[in-house]
């Protein structure tokens, strides 16, 4: 495992308020409602991966991104970007 891989692995286990705030910004396009909401997300998620999955599975994310989550199938995945989108659809659904 390279140094960069080790740093990434360590950071996966260091979930903090800043990660939650940026997840709201990136996935939902807004700020979190309150400090209590941030604390709640931290109490339910131990890693960035679990936090990411929670946002991707949320109704708000699906609603705000419905246009990119619909209409693509693995058969269209000749393009690597569509392959990644197909994997995202599998996580969300």
Dump pLDDT digits (tens) for 43-76: 999 999 999 999 999 999 999 988 777 765 555 4
Query: 88 and 68 in one domain?
Result: yes
Residue 85 and residue 47: Cα distance in Å, rounded?
A: 22
Query: 52 and 36 in one domain?
Result: yes
Query: 40 and 12 in one domain?
Result: yes
Query: 45 and 32 in one domain?
Result: yes
pTM of the model: 0.64
Query: 32 and 71 in one domain?
Result: no
Residue 42 and residue 51: Cα distance in Å, rounded?
A: 8
- Inter-residue contact 30 to 55 (CB < 8 Å): no
Over its C-alpha atoms, the chain yields an Rg (Å, rounded) of 15
- Inter-residue contact 51 to 19 (CB < 8 Å): yes
Residues written for the chain: 93
Q: Which domain holds residue 74?
A: 58-93
């Amino acid at each position: 495992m390279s140094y960069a891989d080790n740093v990434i692995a360590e950071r996966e286990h260091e979930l903090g308020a800043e990660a939650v705030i940026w997840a709201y910004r990136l996935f939902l396009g807004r700020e979190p409602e309150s400090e209590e909401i941030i604390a709640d997300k931290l109490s339910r998620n131990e890693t960035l991966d679990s936090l990411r999955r929670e946002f991707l599975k949320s109704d708000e994310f699906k609603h705000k991104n419905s246009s990119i989550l619909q209409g693509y199938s693995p058969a269209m995945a000749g393009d690597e970007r569509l392959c990644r989108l197909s994997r995202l659809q599998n996580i969300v659904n």
